[in-house]
Amino acid sequence: MGTRKRTCGTGEKDNSLHLSRMGWNSYFQAQLQGCCSDDFLPARVVGVSKNSFRISNGEEEWRAVLAGRLMHPPHGRYPVTGDWVLAADSVIVKVLNRTNALCRGASGTHGKPDALPKREQVIAANLDTVFVVCGLDRDFNLRRIERYLTLVYNCGLNPVILLTKADLHRDPMPFVSELETVAFGVSIHVVSGLDGKGLLPLDGYLSPGQTAAMVGSSGAGKSTLVNRLYGKAIQATGSVSLRIGKGTHTTTARDLIMMPQGGMLIDNPGLREIAFWNDDGGVRAAFPEIENLAGACRFSNCRHMHEPGCRVLQAIAAGEILQDRLDSYHKMKRELAYLSLRQQKRADRVEKEQWKAVSLKIKALKKERRNR
Ligand SMILES: Nc1nc2c(ncn2[C@@H]2O[C@H](COP(=O)(O)OP(=O)(O)OP(=O)(O)O)[C@@H](O)[C@H]2O)c(=O)[nH]1
Ligand SMILES: [Zn+2]
């Protein structure tokens, strides 16, 4: 890897095949209209470390820095792993619009219900699949999986659940049955990073041009799966027993890895907090059985708390839906409603400040004109 110079796809060498293997498509191609100089090269961000980016065009990988004007508003957009950029030699001059992004509220809320995240953290961009990885050890937790599914749906992305460490059980199927009660219509794969069992069907998510990302708790077994899928140890893995308290993540960077299957995989450090930032109908998608029953409640604005004629509460009484599941639904709804209120308040405040700045500028201009 080094600095390099070469004209882009339209120039000296057509590397469109390599680019499309990396997920380049007509959506990104269309963004070159009118802005592509022959000195600009499309490349994908494969690694980020502070203000230095590793980018690749599928043939070569090199380091680049961000052009100064991209660091600040209104042009500012900080590239994340998976982003497509235009680079002039080793300077990123444009970050292309994303097809999607996996985002969460930046950590620091320490699980306090009132301490909602103050800003967004984009984990990765331009994804086809998000693997929600859960170890079949003490990591197995239906409520946490529900939360991951809601987060992924809220970003408009496709979740696939990987239940790993299956080698720890003679029969892991009871876990699947339990999970099926909260993961309607989501593909579930029972796998083992240790002996490689169950991994073959995952190749389908990693074919050329496809990008998948892994999320899950620290110690769930993500990096072990990456290594097994890759065919050799490329990611560091760590012992679960050594993970006590903070600072115990083995994976600390988000790298986009070119897989032998032809596609790309992004490993992620374990998420300590699964804080929401977006709300794109994730609760509706993650709790379809509750949403479907809600249509039969007596009141159209039924909150399924204690209203008469509530079909959801009837299902709880009949044991068709578990109380924990409804509690989880209510909690996420409340959280998202509060988040949306806070985001709206913040947007109003920013708009007010912008108007104030504009009116001050007009006043100053008028004064200047009068004094002339
Ligand atoms: N028995 C068994 N142990 C596993 C398996 N996969 C991972 N482990 C063990 O679980 C521990 C954590 O695995 P990692 O792959 O490092 O976990 P991770 O999710 O990448 O953790 P972070 O990088 O901290 O996010 C290690 O001690 C692994 O050896 C598996 O399939 N079976
Ligand atoms: Zn109801």
pTM, rounded to two decimals: 0.86
Cα–Cα dist 116/343, whole Å: 10
Which amino acid type is present at position 277? W
Mean pLDDT of 281-302: 95
- The annotated binding site for Zn(2+) is made up of 297, 302, 304, 310
CB 224 less than 6 A from any atom of ligand 1: yes
- Angle of helix 142-154 versus helix 173-180 axis, rounded to 10: 50
The torsion angles phi and psi of 190, rounded to 5 degrees, stand at -95, 120
Q: How far is the CA of 203 from the centre of ligand 1 (A)?
A: 20
Q: For 16-95, CATH number?
A: 2.30.30.140
- The annotated binding site is made up of 164-167, 216-224, 297, 302, 304, 310
The residue written with tokens 């959280």 in the block is: 335
Q: Burial level of 165, CB count in 10 A (0-12/13-18/19+)? A: buried
> Within 10 A of 16 (CB to CB), how many other CB atoms are there?
14
ipTM of the complex: 0.97
Cα–Cα dist 347/107, whole Å: 21
CB 251 less than 6 A from any atom of ligand 1: yes
CB 268 less than 6 A from any atom of ligand 1: no
Mean pLDDT over each residue of the chain, to the nearest integer:
88
- Per-residue pLDDT band for 246 (boundaries 50, 70, 90) equals very low
CB 250 less than 6 A from any atom of ligand 1: yes
Architecture of domain 101-266: 3-Layer(aba) Sandwich (3.40)
Whether CATH 1.10.40.50 fits 287-347: yes
- Judging by DSSP bridges, how do beta strands 91-95 and 84-88 pair with one another? antiparallel
**Furthest C-alpha separation in the chain:** 88
Quick: pLDDT tens for 92-113. Answer: 999 999 999 999 988 665 555 5
Among 160, 153, 154, 115, CA closest to 134 = 160
Check: CB of residue 12 under 8 Å from CB of residue 57: no
- Per-residue pLDDT band for 116 (boundaries 50, 70, 90) equals low
CB 57 less than 6 A from any atom of ligand 1: no
Atom of ligand 1 nearest to the CA of 248: 24
Which pLDDT belongs to residue 244? 41
Which pLDDT belongs to residue 17? 87
Atom of ligand 1 nearest to the CA of 216: 19
Q: How far is the CA of 332 from the centre of ligand 2 (A)?
A: 16
Domains of the chain, residue spans: 16-95, 101-266, 287-347
Tokens for 101? Answer: 């992004």
CB 227 less than 6 A from any atom of ligand 1: no
Q: Is 319 left (phi over 0), alpha (psi -120 to 50) or beta?
A: left
Which amino acid type is present at position 358? V
